[in-house]
Structure 1
Amino acid sequence: MKKILVLMVALMGLCGSLQAQKKYKNIEADSASVRYIRNAKPTDSYIFDENRRKDVIFVNEEVTTHLLMPENIKLVDISTNKIVGNQCTDNIVRIKPSGRMYDNELVGTITVIGERHIVQLNVVYTAGPAKANSIYRIKAGDMGRYENPDVTMPRKEMAAYAWAIFTSKPRKNIHSNENGIKARVNNIYSIGDYFFIDYSLYNATKIKYDISEVRIKLTDKKELKATNSQTIELTPVYSLSSAKSFKKAYRNVLVLDKLTFPEEKVLKLEISEEQISGRIITLDINYKDMLHADGVSEQMVSYLPVF
């Protein structure tokens, strides 16, 4: 009887060993030296210290972790092939372990580079899906600032200036009336390497206006012959409003790269309706209006967030 009992215990132990081998058979050997943290030590405080928890992302193969950057992302570097992921929007990256790992395994680091900031985060595997971060918001205090020569003004800063201009009082009197629609340029600001053009549309009809496209052209004031006129289409860097229709009033701020043009040219803002026989509205901005663009006032700066 004792022999049978010993044999059964041995078989149970063998089955447990085989199950453990089966459980981790998909785990590949590390190509680099990686520590497996099973018990917290003083040297591991940078992972387990509650005050530093913001520097760590906990992941699990059953959870997709989304990293939200407070500015547009330019580059993401993942230091290990044990983590897979991609950039799904301008400021969001999603990551996931490529397979099962040991609990509290320090998998590697992920570096996220934005328009003007950079952040590095430790990635730690957790065996419990409930402990994994499904959404991780990168805070401004966690990031380090760096100078990016390709970005003279981050999108977040551009949006803040546009909102400040949007709420300011109209100073310009550039207007036109076409097909029951009144168009007006409220303000023109020159900030850094950009022009901010604030304009409004007012609908005097009872028909809703559906915006098909907004185009900005640099064209001749006098188009005598189509073959002699030269039109250059400009692409806005940023548009504050994404609304596609309005009933009575509409306001938006467009951002253009700073430009100069001769007096015989005019900057034409053209808004067209979605329908085939839709209404087209144009606003002509002369060179002198661009030269007299407003600068940033102290009052405007006082309402802007710190970048």
Structure 2
Amino acid sequence: MAKETGLLQRTPWFYAMVGTAVALGLGGCITGFILLGDSWFQLLIAAAFGIMFTQAAFLGHEAAHRQILKTGPANDRLARVVASGVVGISYSWWDAKHSRHHANPNRVGKDPDIGVDTISFLDEDAAKARGFQRWITRRQGWLFFPLLTLEGLNLHYLGIKYLVTTPGVKGRWTELAMIAVRLAVVIVPVFLFLPLGMAFAFMGVQLAVFGVYMGASFAPNHKGMPIIAPDARIDFFSKQVRTSRNVRGGWWATWLMGGLNYQVEHHLFPSMARPHLAKAREIVRDYCETLDVPYTETSLWQSYAIVIEYLNRVGLAARDPFDCPMVGQYRRV
């Protein structure tokens, strides 16, 4: 279907334009950092760095999906350089995790994106939470976006942990070297040219914006969509469409989310370049209507409301079974 309409063609001109824009954005951040010097306005530069690193991560994601260059090895090399050398995240870790997600989105036991971490995405995981983890889980919908401020740091940590502890990782030392150089290039000037307190604030803001932007771009895609049982039998098309959610908004949403707003089409055609996704959407919608397969599309704010409501509902499984709402009410009185 997509091949016949030419939608799987590469668009090097588009990615050259986006790559240039990201490079210029990072260059502008560096220039602003140098010119501002010892000033609390540096926190605006830190936020801008967080945004530009996320935009670079979108490009790394597309290269990993073979959307940019002609050959697989060339795309892999580009993705590794962008992810590890520019963003500071292990490409090998992300690729292994993301490939399993694409094969089985929202399938229990196979999709790592619904595995328990700080947040529980399944009732059974929420019910196992204990101590402080249970306190978070019971409120995880409302805490979701505040917790994303720590996600940037978590992504760096998980990538390095994977490279250090996982056997047989291809390009292990290359990625570790690139991440080390990248961290040095980012962190050393900050602590060298800014007062200590301002330097910590700068890194905190940069990591927080990066984490929130990344999480806010990926969370609307599948969270709150149907969960597939481990032993369920479902065809590829239905599996990918039913578990994915698109975000309305046109070109601005595509720019803001790096094409992830067309999540249904991205899961059906992972190697389709970003500029073609809007055209593919029209074809997929018609096809879903013909087959009577639900096609989900909401606004960005509606998707966030759905995610928060879903996480709060799952978090109820972490309630103490001996908690009594009436007793709790009288205790407060």
TM-score range, shorter chain: under 0.3
Higher relative contact order (CA 8 A, sep 6+): 2
Greater share of residues in strand: 1
Larger radius of gyration: 1
Task: Give the TM-score normalised by structure 1.
Answer: 0.23
TM-score (norm. length: structure 2): 0.22
